[in-house]
Amino acid sequence: MPRRKKTPQTIGGASPEQHTSERLSPVTENYLLCLYRLWEDSQAPTITQLTDTLKQLPPTEELGTSVPSVAGMVRRMQRQGLVDIGADKHIRLTQKGLEGGEDIARRHRLAEWLVVRLLGMDLHRAHVEAHRLEHGMSQDLEAKLRERLGNPKRSPFGRPIPGTGEPPMPANAVTLDSAKAGMTFVVDRVPEEDDKLLQFLVESRIVPEQQVKIVDATPYLGVLTIATQKGQVSIGYNVATQIVVRPAGA
Q: Which residues contact 14 (CB under 8 A, 6 or more apart)?
A: 22
Average pLDDT over the chain reads 87
CA–CA distance from 156 to each of 11, 109, 116, 120, 130 (Å)? 29, 8, 8, 13, 12
Of the candidate ranges 17-31, 76-90, 208-222, the one whose mean pLDDT is the lowest:
17-31
pLDDT reading at 18 higher than 60: no
Nearest C-alpha neighbor of 205 from the set 187, 192, 217: 187
Q: Are 135 and 32 in contact (CB under 8 A)?
A: no
Tens-place pLDDT, residues 144-174: 999 999 999 999 999 999 999 998 888 889 9
Strand pairing class (174-175; 91-93) = unpaired
174-247, which class in CATH? mainly beta
> What is the average pLDDT across 10-37?
68
| pTM (predicted TM-score) | 0.84
Q: Where along the chain do its domains lie?
A: 1-165, 174-247
Q: d(Cα 44, Cα 148) in Å, to the nearest integer?
A: 35
| Assigned CATH topology for domain 1-165 | Arc Repressor Mutant, subunit A (1.10.10)
